[in-house]
């Protein structure tokens, strides 16, 4: 199969969505398919003139006998090509509707949702990365069940996290420094636990929303917890693996997740998790190995974290349950096979 994969540049961006795209395209190639990645220039998801021009230029050179997959982060740049999209029978990969991103103005959110409501039903196939996102696409975006396939992210084989081995509980949070990830909520919740011994490490890019990143990085000082919080920026490879190894607990106070890849990675490594139930973020979490709170609820999250930080025996039991569940999660090879079947 010849596949043309269209996604906003840069393709090497360190986010869960781009990580999914890279692993799926690599898996498709490993399975013998030809995959060409087309990086769309300009501003996304709300396209500027550069993005619109790039989308049209890319569309004009796509080989006739190929399957076209558009990452929905760039879908709005194809507004106005409804007839062409329908005739071509494109596939749309939807991590989560772009208009549901936290922090957008009402006008921008409504505009993006309106465009996706118009374009999404025209696709021959829509691939969602979770059953939660799939339900949203059926209910709000008129995607027919027969045209919808769920292909959840895979997980890599990973060693079990050994933990810090000391009295200080090391908490790891992974996510870009953007409003949706709720890092401010997590820090405010932890600031209430001044009597407990904990440290928080946040690994995530600051370049997606510099203003939000600056506010987040200044927040620990205002909360009186600057000595307990560190921001490490984008982390990959061996440095990220070391962070996983040293962690005792994973926490993510996200407002909304299309799936929650970092949560799955934590469970794969046997870490207890504390998350919020926005979107699909809590779909993987059971009481045996995690706690689930309402998005934005600082008090609830603080109380849940107090119990996990204070009770080492409880963390140990939850870590054991997380490890056993994590080993049941699918790998990327299997998920790439399911993705290819959806394209056929």
Q: State the DSSP string of 221-248.
A: HHHT-GGGEEEEES--HHHHHHHHHH-S
Domain 2-154+331-343 shares a fold with domain 169-326: yes
pLDDT recorded at residue 138: 96
pLDDT recorded at residue 316: 96
pLDDT recorded at residue 16: 87
pLDDT recorded at residue 53: 98
Contact predicate 120/157, CB 8 Å: no
pLDDT recorded at residue 344: 87
Q: Which residues contact 71 (CB under 8 A, 6 or more apart)?
A: 5, 6, 7, 8, 17, 21, 93, 95
pLDDT recorded at residue 146: 96
pTM given for the model: 0.87
Instruction: Quote the CATH superfamily of domain 169-326.
Output: Glycogen Phosphorylase B; (3.40.50.2000)
Instruction: Quote the CATH superfamily of domain 2-154+331-343.
Output: Glycogen Phosphorylase B; (3.40.50.2000)
pLDDT recorded at residue 288: 96
What is the chain's pLDDT, residue by residue, as a tens digit (344 residues)? 999 999 999 999 888 899 999 999 999 999 999 999 999 999 999 999 999 999 999 999 999 989 999 999 999 999 999 999 999 999 999 999 999 888 889 999 999 999 999 999 999 999 999 999 999 999 999 999 999 999 999 998 999 999 998 889 999 999 999 999 999 999 999 999 999 999 999 999 998 899 999 999 999 999 999 999 999 999 999 999 999 999 999 999 999 888 889 999 999 999 999 999 988 888 899 999 999 999 999 999 999 999 999 999 999 999 999 999 999 999 999 999 999 999 98
pLDDT recorded at residue 168: 97
Domain boundaries in the chain?
A: 2-154+331-343, 169-326
pLDDT recorded at residue 101: 83
The CA–CA distances, whole Å, from 77 to 119, 125, 146, 215, 245 equal: 11, 19, 26, 30, 41
Query: For the chain, how big is the Rg over CA atoms in Å?
Result: 20
pLDDT recorded at residue 34: 97
Q: Which of 327, 173, 144 shows the shortest CA–CA distance to 248?
A: 173
């Amino acid at each position: 199969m010849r596949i043309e994969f269209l996604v906003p540049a840069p393709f090497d961006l360190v986010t869960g969505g781009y990580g999914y795209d890279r692993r799926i395209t690599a898996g498709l190639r490993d399975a013998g398919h030809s995959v060409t990645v087309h990086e769309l220039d300009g501003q996304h998801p709300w396209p500027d003139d550069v993005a619109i021009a790039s989308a049209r230029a890319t569309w004009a050179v796509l080989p006739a006998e190929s399957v076209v997959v558009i990452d929905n982060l760039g879908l709005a740049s194809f507004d106005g090509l409804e007839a062409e999209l329908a005739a071509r029978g494109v596939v749309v990969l939807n991590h989560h509707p772009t208009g549901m991103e936290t922090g957008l103005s009402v006008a921008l959110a409504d505009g993006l949702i309106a465009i996706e409501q118009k374009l999404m039903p025209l696709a021959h196939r829509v691939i969602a990365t979770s059953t939660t996102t799939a339900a949203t696409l059926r209910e709000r975006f008129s995607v027919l069940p027969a045209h919808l396939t769920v292909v959840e992210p895979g997980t890599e084989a990973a060693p079990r996290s050994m933990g810090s081995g000391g009295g200080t509980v090391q908490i790891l949070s992974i996510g870009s420094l953007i409003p949706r990830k709720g890092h401010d909520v997590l820090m405010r919740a932890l600031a209430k636990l001044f009597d407990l011994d904990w440290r928080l490490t946040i690994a995530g890019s600051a370049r997606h929303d510099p203003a939000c990143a600056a506010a987040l990085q200044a927040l620990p000082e205002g909360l009186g917890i600057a000595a307990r919080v560190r921001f490490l920026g984008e982390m990959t490879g061996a440095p990220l693996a070391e962070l996983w190894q040293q962690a005792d607990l994973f926490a993510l106070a996200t407002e909304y997740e299309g799936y929650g890849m970092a949560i799955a990675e934590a469970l794969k490594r046997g870490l207890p998790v504390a998350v919020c139930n926005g979107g699909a973020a809590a779909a993987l979490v059971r009481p045996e190995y995690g706690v689930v709170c309402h998005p934005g609820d600082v008090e609830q999250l603080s109380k849940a974290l107090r119990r996990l930080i204070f009770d080492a025996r409880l963390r140990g039991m939850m870590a054991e349950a997380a490890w056993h569940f994590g080993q049941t999660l699918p790998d990327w090879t299997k998920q790439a096979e399911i993705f290819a079947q959806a394209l056929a």
